[in-house]
């Protein structure tokens, strides 16, 4: 299995597992919490069919990657991504981030610039800034994140069960757009992640990406469901699209957080069209 070393912890290498398929224009798919690169399984075939080289990887602490006790912050995540890009010698690539993965897209460009980045895609993503502060009154009170941390620390397996109900909006979509087995598969992946990572990543959800988004100067696509209970569109997707110059916002009607699974056809269509376009229009679209 392919791995790239991104650092060391004591005597052990910290290694990221990745998959690299196809040829053509590269697209790097960055997963959300608490899953792995395999969560893009409904996008990979469509992107390959469209002629792309598709790269997925597991964030440190998740999936098949190493599970160190440190490095769970966006500066390190972006550095890990940079090392993967260097290892694969990628040029003119697109970055696509789902949920937490959108933070890597924003921080990578914010920290390293857009050289080599062809396009950026944010799907149900965490930017721009979720924490309520005096200069960010539309954010969420810090006590909410503290409560999540306490729940994860008390029994992360129980937390995942409740989390995935709102991840997929199972009360409305189970048996229609998502199966019990798919939800269970997500829980299984989550249960295999690092207990340290599952707790340490929660504070990263309210990282301030506003300055990073201001540096995004490549064509950008923002896809978000209007029924997202994990990252409400008003707090994230809409604001991200407004902060990234020329970004295209696609709103998926009745879309939960995990639109890349429940609304895969719509997400795939938008991603493939956007990646193929030479000059994507900066407009707002809505899909049912």
CA distances from 35 to 17, 45, 147, 173, 194 (A): 13, 19, 21, 20, 11
Span between the terminal Cα atoms of the chain, in Å: 39
* C-alpha closest to that of 177 among 42, 49, 63, 29: 42
* C-alpha closest to that of 128 among 233, 32, 271: 233
Q: Residue 34: is the preceding peptide bond cis (ω within 30°)?
A: yes
- Residue 217: count other Cβ atoms within 10 Å of its Cβ: 14
Tokens at residue 118, please? 């062809």
Active site residue 228: yes
CB 247 within 8 A of CB 222: yes
Active site residue 99: yes
Active site residue 143: no
Tokens at residue 133, please? 């502060």
Q: Which of 99, 125, 186, 198 is catalytic?
A: 99
Q: Which of 52, 125, 228, 263 is catalytic?
A: 228
Residue bearing tokens 């970055």: 95
* C-alpha closest to that of 233 among 130, 159, 86: 130
CB 39 within 8 A of CB 260: yes
Catalytic residues: 99, 228, 257
């Amino acid at each position: 299995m392919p791995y790239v070393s991104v650092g060391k912890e004591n005597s052990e290498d910290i290694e990221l597992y990745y998959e690299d398929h196809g040829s053509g224009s590269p697209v790097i798919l960055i997963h959300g919490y608490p899953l792995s690169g395999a969560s893009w399984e409904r996008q990979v075939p469509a992107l390959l069919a469209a002629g792309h080289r598709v790269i997925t990887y597991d964030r440190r602490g998740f999936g098949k990657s190493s599970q160190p006790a440190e490095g769970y912050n966006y500066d390190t995540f972006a550095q890990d991504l940079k090392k993967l890009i260097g290892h694969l010698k990628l040029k003119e690539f697109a970055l696509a981030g789902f949920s937490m993965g959108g933070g890597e897209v924003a921080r990578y460009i914010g920290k390293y610039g857009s050289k080599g980045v062809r396009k950026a895609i944010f799907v149900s993503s965490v930017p721009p800034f979720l924490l309520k502060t005096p200069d960010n009154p539309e954010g969420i009170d810090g006590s909410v994140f503290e409560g999540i941390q306490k729940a994860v620390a008390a029994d992360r397996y129980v937390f995942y069960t409740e989390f995935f109900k709102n991840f997929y909006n199972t009360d409305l979509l189970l048996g229609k757009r998502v199966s019990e087995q798919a939800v269970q598969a997500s829980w299984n992946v989550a249960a295999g992640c690092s207990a340290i990572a599952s707790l340490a990543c929660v504070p990263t959800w309210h990282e301030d990406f506003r300055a990073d988004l201001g540096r995004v100067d490549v064509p950008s696509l923002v896809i978000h469901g209007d029924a997202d209970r994990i990252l409400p569109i008003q707090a994230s997707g809409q604001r991200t699209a407004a902060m990234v110059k020329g970004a295209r916002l696609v709103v998926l009607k009745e879309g939960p957080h995990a639109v890349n699974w429940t609304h895969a056809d719509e997400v795939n269509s938008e991603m493939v069209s956007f990646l193929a376009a030479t000059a994507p229009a900066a407009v707002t679209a809505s899909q049912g």
